[in-house]
Amino acid sequence: MANPAQVTGAPEPVKAATGAFLTPLFTDRRVAAVLGLGFAQGIPFLLVYATQSAWLVQAKVPLATIGLMSELTIAYKLKFLWAPFLDRHDAPLLGRWLGRRRGWIVATQILVALALAGVAFGDPAQWLAWTVAFSLALGVAGATQDVVIDGWRITAAPPEQQALMSSWSEIGYRVGNLAAGAGALYLSDAYGWRAAYLCMAALMAPGTIAALLAPEPPAPETPAAGGFVETVWAPIRDLLARLGPLAIPVLALVAGFRMPGYVSNAMAIPLFKTLGYSNTDIATVTKLFGFWIALGGTFLASAIIPRIGMMASLLIGTVTASASHLALAYLAWHGGHGGAAFWTFALTVGIDGFAYAFASIVLITYMSRLSATAHAASQYALLTSLCALPGSLLAGFSGFVIEWTGFAWFFVGTSLIGVPVALLCLLVARRHGPMDAPGSAT
């Protein structure tokens, strides 16, 4: 009898990897839930960051101001300050009904929807302060939602399943990005920005349904009561103790890993708009076409991590993600023609998107393994804040840099930021070993 792999033409390892990836979506309630929760996580960030920059360009807000407004995502870098309180306390009213993790998830989703509605009724061309205020509120609500969903994901599954959970969470996140990116841009062209943002507020509903259907993990052991400083410091102290002598290089690696991407992303859509591409073109390439490209990067990362080890995956991720910015530099040099060079646009953005998705899954899995169950929300929030803060601070000056260097040399520069990060990754891997993350066994 013929081997089934020979009949279908698919190698057995590929079929096995595909089955191991897809089957849990239909057999494990946690995986289905994390897909919906990831969708909710994918909505807020773009609407206070990249997608909103298209609205700001259209409203003729100066480029330097747009760069500075990327700092409205500051809550995503500071969320570690309030994350420990979310590990310790239940959400008002909802916590008693849904449990600690799910109660906070639903509460933050309600706040995200209200903030989106607030942004919708603003007009940055006439009253920029209104847009700034509600965008800041949106950032706080979205960052807090990230904290509680990540805390749920880490405590709902054991460490060996975190790559799978991270991958499905990232797929949901990408679908949410598709809605907040392509969906919002298409709607803005057809019906205006107010309708686009109100629709995004309504799209928080599937995430709420996922939260209601998700299993509530066992309540974490509540640490002894302490003041604000002790509450914030306790998870940091635990993380540093588990990392030991590798604490500084590991935390530096986390801080630098996505720095090139944060700086680059701040000016990607302004580049596309400057080259003459319409909102519809941008949505089609970055979100519709880009979604499938990112899905490929996500699947590849989930398959590679168990096979080559965590540190080797990190090295590949940081090198490819940084080098992919050279594609954006090429686009800046050769992708103009009033938006006519569509396939140059699609190819270069696809290269960048694939590398970004791969690197994201690798980093998410690494940070999840570094987080202890008792401090899941706190430590993962600390690591993601550390990951976001340096790049986001630099991104605030990106508009000024481009006014001096131009877009092409700007993206060459962001790719070179990845060189010292790759060297740091090699250092950590050499001192710890190539297969496991420090502290993953704890």
Task: State pLDDT tens for residues 316-333.
Answer: 999 999 999 999 999 888
Q: Helix (H, G, I), strand (E, B), or coil: what is residue 313?
A: helix
pLDDT of residue 94: 92
As a whole number of angstroms, the distance between CA 106 and CA 110 comes to: 6
Top-tier CATH class for 22-432: mainly alpha
pLDDT band at 440 (very low <50, low <70, confident <90, very high): very low
Instruction: Please give the model's pTM, rounded to 2 decimal places.
Output: 0.73
Q: Is the pLDDT of residue 311 over 60?
A: yes
Predicted confidence (pLDDT) per residue in 337-358, tens digit: 655 678 888 898 899 999 988 9
Measured in whole angstroms, the distance separating CA 434 from the mean position of its chain's CA atoms is 25
Residue listed under structure tokens 């390892």:
13
Rounded to an integer, the average pLDDT of 39-68 is 86
As a whole number of angstroms, the distance between CA 51 and CA 303 comes to: 31
Which residue pairs, CB below 8 angstroms and at least 24 apart, start in 96-104?
98/211, 98/212, 98/216, 99/216, 99/219, 100/216, 100/219, 100/220, 101/148, 101/151, 101/152, 101/155, 101/216, 101/217, 102/152, 102/211, 102/212, 102/214, 102/216, 104/144, 104/148
